[in-house]
């Protein structure tokens, strides 16, 4: 499984790049995240040039089904946070080769949802 980058990893990178303590870098990273969250919660878009845009996205009210009993329920409208990658970031990500694990195949070479059970 690929490594997940955590906030602690970002703090380490910021501390090293800015030649500051981890405590100071942690405060800076938290301030940036807090500012993004606060502004998106107010309905504002936060654009970081060369990276992307954090924005509030409105979801309409809709009908759904209760997983408990299957009855139809009304799901209320709500606003959710969203992120749209900017052009430089999206091209960098799309140009990075990704190696996926090989798909299981049958003895004839066709793909299968699961590997055949040997008998």
Nearest to 29 by CA among 41, 42, 12: 12
In this prediction, residues 37-61 reach a mean pLDDT of 94
pLDDT at 87: 79
Burial of 70 (0-12, 13-18, 19+ CB in 10 A): exposed
Going from the C-alpha of 58 to that of each of 17, 43, 48, 97, 112, the distances in angstroms are 37, 10, 21, 33, 39
pLDDT at 86: 86
Mean pLDDT of the chain: 82
Q: How many percent of the chain have pLDDT more than 90? A: 64
pLDDT grade for 118, boundaries at 50, 70 and 90: low
| pLDDT 10s digits, 67-112 | 999 999 999 999 999 999 987 655 556 665 545 445 455 555 555 4
* Residue 92, phi then psi, degrees to nearest 5: -65, -45
Quote the pTM value: 0.64
* Residue 72, phi then psi, degrees to nearest 5: -75, 135
Which CATH number applies to 50-96? 4.10.520.10
Domain ranges for the chain: 1-42, 50-96
């Amino acid at each position: 499984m690929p490594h997940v980058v955590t906030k602690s990893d970002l703090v380490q990178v910021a501390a090293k790049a800015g030649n500051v303590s981890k405590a100071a870098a942690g405060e800076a990273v938290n301030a940036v995240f807090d500012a993004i969250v606060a502004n998106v919660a107010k309905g504002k878009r936060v654009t970081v040039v060369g990276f992307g845009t954090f924005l509030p996205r409105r979801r309409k009210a809709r009908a759904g089904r209760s997983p408990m009993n299957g009855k139809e329920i009304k799901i209320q409208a709500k606003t959710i946070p969203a992120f749209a990658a900017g052009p430089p970031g999206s091209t960098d990500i799309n140009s990075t080769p990704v190696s996926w694990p090989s798909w299981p195949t049958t003895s004839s070479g066709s793909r299968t949802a699961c590997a055949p059970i040997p008998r």
